[in-house]
Chains A and B, each alone.
Chain A
Amino acid sequence: MIKEIQLLHDTIWSSPLLLAMFVLSVGYLLYRYLHHEEGDNIRRVLIYVALTIVLVCMNPVLAYLAMRFTGDEYVFVRFMWVLPAFALIAYAAMKFALSFNGKARTVVIAGICLLAFLSGELWPDVYKKADNLYKLDSDMIAACDIVREDAATSENANVYGHVSVCLQLPNNNIYLDGSDANIFYFGVRQYAPEFELSYAVVNEDNYDDPEFSYEGYLTNSSQYAICLDKKALDREYQRIGYERIGCAGPYAVYKNHFRFTLFVVRHAQTNGNVAGRVVGAPDSNWGVVTEEGEAKAIELGKALQSANIARSYSSPAERAILTAELVLQGGDQDVTNQTNEALSDIHWGDAEGMNWDEIAAQYGDVSVQAIFGSMEAQEYTGPIPGTDNLFDYMSYITSGVNGVVTDSAVAGLEDRQVLLVTHSAFHWWLERNLPGEAVPPGLDNTSLTILQYDCGQWEAVTINNTDYDTIPDIISGLQ
């Protein structure tokens, strides 16, 4: 509790002089009251101050409880705000000064003001000259305005009027007050609320490195990118499908020009699907594709025969790999499938292979959301041990899809078509990236979802389509 009292003193009183002025002021007013020189209000104020100090501000028990239950030591210290300390000091000073006349009063007032002046700092070291009334870096504002103007003319906004912008930062300390990353990221966030922000981290050492490559640093995932105007960054942004549309001071602004079509297929029917059992990332007997599933995959491949698939990606799960191969084989596509760990299914942890009755018996009547949480719940832990939370799943699946897009852009697959075989959980990615679209709460086996990537923005042509007869017409209608 001594620690709490120490904290209280250190954080509230800027100097012992201020504390002394306060104590003297209270003492002086008490003296005046006892000599009938003050009215009832000062009596009540002095009692209020005494009670506030004893019962609240310097109460170690309350300090302990407040810090324990709020987890924030400053919550308790803020109770000090109910104490009118400055007003009492100023009032006592006024009364003291009024007891003098003429020049003596002026000297006393000047002396008190000097004491007040000496009790802290006149110009705290927390300010800097503002560039403008927005109180933000003018170059950063200009860079944002370049994006705004272009987005307005090209009508690039999504259904919410938002455009996606990727900021290049020197590190990922966006929550560290005063860091370059914090100032830039949240500066843009404060100025341009219609930007959906993401960020890419490129270390300063790489800015002028002729060997610097986008891999592991930059992805083609947003409509616009704002980065420092550096040679290496300029080269790599252009390499992954962006074009430079302007610059403002130290910043360069890029616009995504890459377009392609993504065929998203959920893996074929498995034993687990037939038995109603949940199957996630790890391969097991429940993940073995059934004969019906294989036939459906080949049928889908035939429906996609008119497509010109340039590449194929799948999760490393055997059911996904097999499905991809069967689809490519059915459509006579001369393409080799590539696997990517980031495209894996969500983990069901200890519930892998269970059916819903078994899950309910062991973990209670839990919903899918209760098991995996929400996309934004970073620290969520569900009732089933070993499961991914949805935040983590979204992180890796997003990285996987961004990798597919970036690889395709670098490979020059402009206006080409790419196959992606994934899992039912991919519907969450669809929900997030297709605002306004009706996405089912899970994809059907060997269903086809056709997405067009239009310069950083996803548009759905068809979602969860299992009517293969319609697919050739849809493909012929693709731009």
Chain B
Amino acid sequence: MTGLTKKWEHPFFRFISGFVAMLAMAYVLYFPFWLTGRSFHRYYQVYFIAVAILVVGGLFLWRKQWIVAVRRDVRGAISYVKAHPMVILFVVIVGWEIWRVVTYTQLHYSDDDTYIPLVNDILTSDQFFRVNFVDGRMLSGGYSLDMKYMLAGWFQFQALLCRFSGLHPLIMIKTCLPIAVILLHYSVVWNLCRAFSGTEESDGLLTFMLVYAVLTEAAWGQLSTSWSYYFLTWAWYGKAFLQLIVLPFLLFVLLDFCGKKLGDWLLIAMVAIAGLAASTMGFLLIPAELGLFLLACLVSYVIRQRRICV
């Protein structure tokens, strides 16, 4: 594997990295606005100007590559479906999950009590975390919300999405975002499977995705820490984004890591920042995953007595 250029060609990589980059960028921009007490609407303006510049600039600079890539993706998808008609089974399972997300809800709210009002209050107060999420009153001057809410970037990012789309936070967060999370999750594990095998061959990918989807759907742990729980119940949580997208995507990036290109380092930094943004659990899990992988590489190196870079 040869780094970022090669990754760019992977199916869905551009979509995953684009979404993760949006979150990481929102997080980096958030801190100066929060610490200087600026309003949310100013943050929103600066964020979307930055995003627009990057998107328009990127499209302008790499327009030919984009067109080629999109054509190749569409053709590739069509030919893959023709060659593997059983992919319909996988699509049915994912469709089932999306249908459930849209038409069903959970029996009780759990942390929604806190998380949805936090997003709501950013939008309605135009300030970062100056409203008591329990009763909706403005907080008194000497009081701050728990630091863990302010350190995470997920609520601000959700508020940006709501403001941009014009949708009520409940619709954006409980219906639209879970659909995106489900699709992104399968895109990530699709790439992870390729990284495991270390080849570009697609033989067996469908089997992988089918078994994975059945496991996700059926191997349901009873408590909020199991692998399926957030996927099936609260896909809009920052923890879900961390667990379902950032952590496996980081593993994929690390497995393909070469270290010779600046882009690879930036990509790891971006994914790590997105992990911190998604949930304060990221402050524990991102360093843990990075440290464990580095250790694994060292052990692997000792075993094989050769360079880490493959």
Interface on A for B, CB 8 Å cutoff? 10-15, 18, 39-45, 47-48, 51-52, 55-56, 74-75, 77-82, 84-87, 89-91, 93-95, 97-98, 109, 112-113, 116-122, 124-130, 133-136, 160-162, 175, 177-178, 182-183, 186-187, 189-191, 193-198, 369, 374-377, 431-432, 435
Contacts and interface: CB of A to CB of B under 8 A. Distances in A.
A354 B214 CA distance: 71
Contact of A374 (B142, B199, B243, B285): B142
Interface in B172-218: 174-175, 189, 192-193, 195-199, 203-205, 207-212, 214-218
Given A86-B215, A87-B189, A127-B107, A48 B293 contact: yes
Nearest to A97: B207
Contact of A41 (B116, B198, B203, B248): B198
B285 A78 contact: yes
Contact of B225 (A41, A51, A77, A161): A77
B212 A51 contact: no
Contacts of A39: 197-199
B120 A190 contact: yes
Contacts of A160: 125, 138
Contacts of B239: 78
20 contacts: A13-B221, A48-B292, A55-B295, A74-B224, A78-B284, A79-B284, A82-B288, A98-B204, A113-B211, A118-B218, A124-B232, A127-B107, A128-B107, A135-B170, A178-B109, A182-B109, A186-B109, A189-B120, A189-B134, A193-B124
Given A95-B204, A129-B103, A79 B117 contact: no
A90 B193 contact: yes
A189 B113 CA distance: 8
Given A91-B196, A178-B108, A51 B295 contact: yes
A194 B117 CA distance: 10
A127 B106 contact: yes
B220 A121 contact: yes
B84 interface: no
B68 interface: no
Nearest to A43: B300
A54 to B, nearest CB: 10
B136 A126 contact: no
Given A18-B219, A376-B143, 8 more contacts: A42-B197, A48-B296, A51-B292, A52-B292, A78-B284, A86-B215, A116-B215, A124-B220
Nearest to A106: B86
A196 B117 CA distance: 12
B36 interface: no
Contact of A81 (B102, B193, B197, B285): B285
Contacts of B297: 44
A197 B288 CA distance: 41
A47 to B, nearest CB: 4
B192 A87 contact: yes
A176 to B, nearest CB: 9
A160 to B, nearest CB: 6
A177 B204 CA distance: 43
Interface of A is mostly: helix
Interface in B96-152: 100, 102-110, 112-113, 116-117, 120-121, 123-125, 131-140, 142-143
Nearest to A17: B219
B223 interface: yes
Nearest to B221: A14
A377 B109 contact: no
B264 to A, nearest CB: 16
A190 B105 contact: no
Contact of B124 (A95, A116, A129, A194): A194
Contacts of B292: 48, 51-52, 55-56, 82
B5 interface: no
B299 A47 contact: yes
Contact of B218 (A43, A45, A75, A117): A117
Contacts of A189: 113, 116-117, 120, 133-136
Contacts of B142: 369, 374
B25 to A, nearest CB: 24
Given A11-B223, A82-B247, A190 B117 contact: yes
A51 B291 CA distance: 10
A162 to B, nearest CB: 7
A47 B87 CA distance: 32
B156 interface: no
A90 B131 CA distance: 45
B221 A82 contact: no
Contacts of B113: 175, 182, 186, 189
A120 B232 CA distance: 13
Given A51-B295, A75-B284, A91-B193, A120 B143 contact: no
B220 A12 contact: no
A81 B185 CA distance: 14
A41 B197 contact: yes
